[in-house]
A and B are shown apart, each in its own frame.
Chain A
Amino acid sequence: MKRIRLSKTNRINFATYGGVILAYAVLQFLNGGGMLSSTIRGQLVPICAYVTMALSLNLTVGVLGELSLGHAGFMSVGAFAGAVAAAALPITSDPLRLAASMVIAALAAAITGTLVGIPVLRLNGDYLAIVTLAFGQIIKSIVENLYIGIDDRGLHASFLENRIIFRDGGRMILNGAMGVNGIAKISSFTAGFVLVMLVLVVIFNLVDSRAGRAIMALRDNRIAAESVGIPVTKYKLMAFVISAAMAGAAGALFALGQNTITANKFDFNTSILILVFVVLGGQGNMWGSILAATFLTVLPETKAMRGLADYRMLVYAVVLILVMLATNNPTIQDFINTKFRKKKKKGGAVK
């Protein structure tokens, strides 16, 4: 009994890995042949970043079962930490510098996650959601008032006002509310793919582990879980911090693929957008998050949508509502289920 259920999970997990690898291979092949439009090529890195964001939030929302409305805050921490690290690190190889920046970004976001998580995770439900919302705003305000520059003596920082005085050859990296300008684009689609795969490996193994079961037990019934001796705060914090670290890495990937990033890019709207990816893809459903994030990122930039001109964002919103309704419609669900079951039966017969 147990073995069968496990293998089903594993099957889904391997199908998810396979799907991601296949998508990467196909896109790389098309890109190599010059068959991708500039629009799609420009979106490859942001898609990987948003997919990672959706996966990491799914860990908090789907697996831990806590609603977070400030996930873009961790992306912001990662983005700015990553951008500063990439500008400051004396590594000449781009992929290595990117990897090091992403690690630093993940660490920075994890530390922030711990600081936020210790007081916040004692709350539940709506209270937690509102506090995470406030956290996102705090991060935005801090970044908007932070000035960081670099010269031959190292990094200089100043808060509220730009009081940095350079020696020769210095330059500003983070310019308060104006954000980071003129970032050297070192993110690549391959790096994004590796990040998505790593995040999937971490999430799938965490969910399958002893800790993962404890986390899910907390989600399903906190009181029951507590009564059998599961330390609530410890496991909640574990899931929350891992999720934050992944969001930080995604932020660095995103930032280092853009020319300009500002703090207001990572505002409440972005948090909600990522939550939409998770809800649309299904809470706890990792491949669903990947598909939803990709679909909703690409959709407004497609040729048909661009052609709508002024009605573009209206149609985008209508499509979003329709997709939500459609995926929750019992008739459609039944239809998909029967199809799926038939396929499974066929597969069984072959075996």
Chain B
Amino acid sequence: MKKFLALVLALVMTLALAACGGGDGQKDGSGAAIKIGGVGPLTGGAAIYGNAAKGGAEIAAEEINALGGLQIDLRYEDDAHDPEKSVNAYNSLKDWGMQVFLGSVTSGPGAATAAESNGDHMFYLTPSASSTDVIGGVANPLTGSVDIPRRDNVFQMCFVDPDQGAYSAQYISDNSLGSKIAVIYKNDDIYSTGIYNSFAAKAAELGLNIVSTTTFTTDSQTDFSVQISDAKNNGADLVYLPTYYEANALILTQANASGYTPKYFGVDGMDGILSVTGFDTSLAEGVMLLTPFSADAEDQRTKSFVSKYVEKYGDTPNQFAADAYDCVYAIYEALKDEDVSSATSASDMCDLLMGKFTSGSFTFTGLTGENMTWDASGAVSKYPKGMYIQNGAYVGMD
């Protein structure tokens, strides 16, 4: 009987907790503000990206709401970096009454929500789902085939993966950074694979000497001894890492421990490596990377954003936060002079925003780029900027 009572008590507690949470969720659904929703991994292994994007978007929404005029009601839902759950999260945002969608933060789930939103004709501007599978209509660099048709409602704030891969290869070749190149990439991630494919295609064209290509997956991203020794044994003097920064931090640490010190070249996923807890940042000295955003930039807008972000979340913002911040502002800029309200249907909103974004006359300046424009392909006119790390800070390469 005692056990039974304990069980009943526990059930009551859970229900109470659920009820509190339910109340919390209700409170932000008020007023005549435009409802903007976003989906990202707020829990699980990829949670840092989702939470960074959510934080950046929240700061933008607060700033815009403080200006008066067009108000924004922002809501993020968790997808735990799973395509199936991201569609569920998208559907629950639709039930909430979302009018504009900030898309998914990560590429795999992004491809799923992009297809779903295309069916619903819901405007989709993703901060960081950079795979071409999200916007569609781009040829696979390995086979030349267009596997996914263009989804006309989907736009990206980040530059697409093939640009990064091709740009990296070009840069490495132009500056003769490495005579023997090793590549380590994550082959169950469309972001990493997308960059690798375009890098490999461009490298072959430019005649770069790739001596070692090794892969890892989500299950094996803690031990890189095999990949490192393969690169080392083949005498690679430059390691190309089209992967995210936690994996990169481990690769740098483990390579250093085994006495292997090549040059490293990363892409935008490398951004954030200096903020990894427990990582010896002196190992990252001289690492080259591509990033649209640097938290150390001197302009007023970046400084204000970084200080607000640090104050609110206690972390230095990375490019995910900056891209999401820009997304909310881009939508705001496109809508502020239009006759829209919380009563405008998502489909009308989509027509309006699609018209604006593809008009050619709509330009946007944010934290991650100046005078950005979009065309019917959905990709943004923004090009990777090369940086390298010197004394624990980013310095422009050119």
Q: Say yes or no: A318 contacts B14, CB within 8 Å.
A: yes
Q: Say yes or no: A265 contacts B83, CB within 8 Å.
A: yes
CB of B210 within 8 Å of the partner chain: no
State how many angstroms separate the Cβ of B369 from the closest Cβ of chain A. Answer: 28
Binds B, one of A4-12, A37-45, A216-224: A37-45
A261 partner residues in chain B, CB cutoff 8 A: 83
Q: Say yes or no: B193 contacts A42, CB within 8 Å.
A: no
B238 partner residues in chain A, CB cutoff 8 A: none
Q: Say yes or no: B145 contacts A171, CB within 8 Å.
A: yes
Q: A41-B91, A309-B24 are contacts. A172–B187 as well, Cβ < 8 Å?
A: no
Q: A90–B83 Cα gap in the complex (Å)?
A: 28
B189 partner residues in chain A, CB cutoff 8 A: 177-178
A182 partner residues in chain B, CB cutoff 8 A: 111, 115, 133, 136, 147-149
Q: Say yes or no: B83 contacts A329, CB within 8 Å.
A: no
Q: A177-B188, A261-B83 are contacts. A315–B14 as well, Cβ < 8 Å?
A: yes
Which of the residues A39, A258, A303, A329 comes within 8 Å of B3, measured between beta carbons?
A329
B43 partner residues in chain A, CB cutoff 8 A: 310, 312-313
Binds B, one of A22-30, A63-71, A118-126, A161-169: A161-169
CB of A248 within 8 Å of the partner chain: no
Q: A263–B83 Cα gap in the complex (Å)?
A: 12
Q: A332–B80 Cα gap in the complex (Å)?
A: 35
Which of the residues B83, B144, B147 comes within 8 Å of A259, measured between beta carbons?
B83
Q: Say yes or no: A166 contacts B21, CB within 8 Å.
A: no
B25 partner residues in chain A, CB cutoff 8 A: 303, 306-307, 309
As a 0/1 sequence over residues 263 to 287 of chain B, the CB contacts with chain A under 8 angstroms (1 = contact) are 0000000000000000000000000
B143 partner residues in chain A, CB cutoff 8 A: 149, 162, 164-166, 170, 172
Which of the residues B7, B26, B108 comes within 8 Å of A262, measured between beta carbons?
B108
* Central interface residue in A177, A263, A325, by most chain B CB within 10 Å: A177
As a 0/1 sequence over residues 276 to 307 of chain A, the CB contacts with chain B under 8 angstroms (1 = contact) are 00000000000000000000000001011111
Q: A145–B127 Cα gap in the complex (Å)?
A: 30
> Which residue of chain A has the shortest Cβ distance to B193 in the bound complex?
A178
B259 partner residues in chain A, CB cutoff 8 A: none
Which of the residues B114, B116, B145 comes within 8 Å of A170, measured between beta carbons?
B145
* Central interface residue in B18, B77, B149, B187, by most chain A CB within 10 Å: B18
CB of A319 within 8 Å of the partner chain: yes
CB of B17 within 8 Å of the partner chain: yes
Interface class of chain B by DSSP: helix
A318 partner residues in chain B, CB cutoff 8 A: 10, 14
Q: A170-B145, A258-B83, A261-B83 are contacts. A307–B21 as well, Cβ < 8 Å?
A: yes
Q: Say yes or no: A177 contacts B187, CB within 8 Å.
A: yes
Q: A178–B14 Cα gap in the complex (Å)?
A: 38
Residues 1 to 29 of chain B near chain A (Cβ within 8 Å): 1, 3-4, 7, 10-11, 14, 17-19, 21-26
Q: A136–B108 Cα gap in the complex (Å)?
A: 22
Q: Say yes or no: A259 contacts B217, CB within 8 Å.
A: no
> Which residue of chain A has the shortest Cβ distance to B82 in the bound complex?
A265
> Which residue of chain A has the shortest Cβ distance to B133 in the bound complex?
A181
> Which residue of chain B has the shortest Cβ distance to A177 in the bound complex?
B188
Q: A344–B321 Cα gap in the complex (Å)?
A: 62
CB of B182 within 8 Å of the partner chain: no
CB of A340 within 8 Å of the partner chain: no
A307 partner residues in chain B, CB cutoff 8 A: 18, 21-26
Which of the residues B95, B116, B145 comes within 8 Å of A166, measured between beta carbons?
B145
B256 partner residues in chain A, CB cutoff 8 A: none
CB of A192 within 8 Å of the partner chain: no
CB of A176 within 8 Å of the partner chain: yes
Q: Say yes or no: A264 contacts B188, CB within 8 Å.
A: yes
State how many angstroms separate the Cβ of A172 from the closest Cβ of chain B. Answer: 5
As a 0/1 sequence over residues 317 to 348 of chain A, the CB contacts with chain B under 8 angstroms (1 = contact) are 01100100110010110000000000000000
25 A-B contacts, Cβ less than 8 Å apart? A37-B95, A38-B94, A43-B88, A43-B91, A164-B142, A171-B147, A175-B147, A181-B133, A181-B148, A258-B87, A259-B114, A260-B83, A264-B218, A265-B83, A303-B22, A304-B21, A308-B17, A308-B22, A311-B17, A311-B21, A312-B43, A315-B14, A329-B4, A331-B4, A332-B4
